Amino acid sequence: MSNKIYVFDTTLRDGAQGENVSFTVKDKLHIIEKFNDIGIDYIEVGFPASNPKDIEIFEILKNKKFKNSKIVAFGRTKYKSTDAKDDDNINTLIECKADAICIFGKSSAFHAEKVIETSLENNLEMIFESVSYLKKHSPEVIFDGEHFFDGFRENPDYAIKTLKASEKGGADFIVLCDTNGGTLPSDMSKIVEIVKKELKTPIGIHVHNDCGCAVANSIIAVNKGATMVQGTINGYGERTGNADLCQIIPNLEIKMKMKCLQDDKLKDLTSLSRFIAEIANQIPSGHQPFVGSSAFAHKAGMHVSGVSKYSTAFEHVSPELVGNSRRILISELSGKKSIILKAKEFGINLEDEKKTVSDILEKILSLEHHGYQFEAADASFELLVRDITETKKEYFKLESFRILNEKKENGEILSEATVKIHVNAERIIETAEGVGPVNALDKALRKALTKFYPGLEKIILTDFKVRVLDEKKGTGAIVRVLIESTDGEKSWGTIGVSENIIEASWEALSDSIVYGLNHIEK
């Protein structure tokens, strides 16, 4: 088996078919640059015959060459009653001047007869003629056998014939597609092994995730001889998505010693995953293997103790290999070792401070009993530790705050907040208006503090979440507020809990500002 596995990314085409995923032409160009940098071999940019946006981007990319990546135009085989040379779709693919062309054809007898409504023989001719005609005008043609695995289960002889028709036409790669995503790993292994014996042309694999086996099936196919893997970043795609390249690539490179990306670029995988999520306006999955924020997060005390001695005790690979990082989570499940390790991250050594560690753990247990949760609020935990260890700097002292809400005749609702604080020996009173009570409170506090701490202007609130903890108490329920902030380089989370949503918001808000100032002023 070759040590090189060709990575064929279809995020910009198949991934964009996922619900709530869309890319502009500018988005696609940014993503292509990222893919080229990390070393994706094939970038399937789009389906030029389907929409003006894809026509535009292929026009921009025409004759442009990338160092590490090939630009791919995607389309279908010729229409059932049209010659390939007269088929508009086929000719549009040729006019793109892409580095490679990938076309799909029906590898299922059912789809040939019932969906596109043609004879089995004509379907074979459509595949052969399309591939052979494209090969005269393109340096590389890839054939995707659509619904191949379903077609193999229905009529294995015919499914193989469709692949051989593309081989006869001169296809450079023949890709087996599990279009409905329903193939189990045991069947994948047997079928790919059979196909590999039937064809001389290199084969690839394209799997959807409808039964949750896309990554496993892709890896099995490689193990059985596939040398091209098609998939998307973060598994974006129609229905339940495509095979996730952010899982496939590290498994192949780290576990199977296959070469997928450019040398030393695997460490950029986590940042690529998050970049694509941001561009696609999707919330990254914290539990995504390898690249998720929780992929190397440890919460249970025994796990933390083990991983502090030997990282392999509770980690299957080193997080640094994929550009991720280890996280120690603090919760009621934490042991003393967790607290010591977490405190060490922000420069406080508690190794010989047994009583202090016990006090911190006791405080955490008490607070979590009342609704606090420090897993997403590392900054609030750090401030708690600094408070107990008397290393917390007091940037201001609250005297009081007041919030007024006014609904006007035109329906507009206005919030006004007044804060009274003390900075050193000076008493400050400031008022500000906002689109809501928390926004107004944030503005008033910043207005009061900025002249003392100009660095505060760098701190921006990026997320605000409210969760009701005991809904049955109605308007008297306890709420948990989580705020995420950033200074442009570092992000942090803070928490507040109260029966009063404004008080909970103030706690999270003031923690956010104190933590940010502490790090900006270092």
Q: What is the 3-state secondary structure (H, E, C) of 474-503?
A: HHHCCEEEEEEEECCCCEEEEEEEECCHHH
Nearest C-alpha neighbor of 47 from the set 5, 10, 15, 13: 13
- Could you tell me which CATH number the domain at 396-452 has? 3.30.160
Residue 209 and residue 242 in contact, taking contact as beta carbons nearer than 8 Å: yes
- Could you tell me which CATH number the domain at 356-387+459-522 has? 3.30.160.340
Asked whether this chain's domains 6-262 and 356-387+459-522 adopt the same fold, the reply is no
Does the domain formed by 6-262 have CATH 3.20.20.70?
yes
Tokens (6 digits) for 450:
């900025």
Residue 231 and residue 218 in contact, taking contact as beta carbons nearer than 8 Å: yes
| Angle 247-7-34 from CA coordinates, rounded to 5° | 85
Residue 204 and residue 173 in contact, taking contact as beta carbons nearer than 8 Å: yes
Nearest C-alpha neighbor of 216 from the set 256, 174, 273: 256
Residue boundaries of the structural domains of the chain:
6-262, 356-387+459-522, 396-452
Residue with tokens 């009274």: 420
pLDDT digit string, tens, across residues 445-465? 999 999 999 989 889 888 888
pTM score:
0.70
User: In a structure prediction context, what are the per-residue pLDDT tens digits for the chain, which is 522 residues long?
Assistant: 459 999 999 999 999 988 889 888 989 999 999 999 999 999 999 888 777 888 899 999 987 899 999 999 999 999 999 999 999 999 999 999 999 999 999 999 999 999 999 999 999 999 999 999 999 999 999 999 999 999 999 999 999 999 999 999 999 999 999 999 999 999 999 999 999 999 999 999 999 999 999 999 999 999 999 999 999 999 999 999 999 999 999 999 999 999 999 998 999 999 899 889 888 888 788 789 989 877 767 666 555 555 555 566 666 788 888 887 766 655 545 567 778 877 887 888 888 888 888 888 888 878 877 888 776 788 898 899 888 998 888 899 999 999 999 888 888 888 999 999 999 889 999 999 998 899 999 999 999 999 999 989 889 888 888 888 766 666 667 888 999 898 887 888 899 999 899 999 999 999 999 999 888 765
Query: What pLDDT was estimated at residue 329?
Result: 57
Query: What pLDDT was estimated at residue 147?
Result: 96
Q: Are strands 6-9 and 42-46 parallel, antiparallel or unpaired?
A: parallel
Q: Are strands 426-434 and 413-423 parallel, antiparallel or unpaired?
A: antiparallel
| Angle 124-128-133 from CA coordinates, rounded to 5° | 150
Nearest C-alpha neighbor of 374 from the set 300, 284, 482: 482
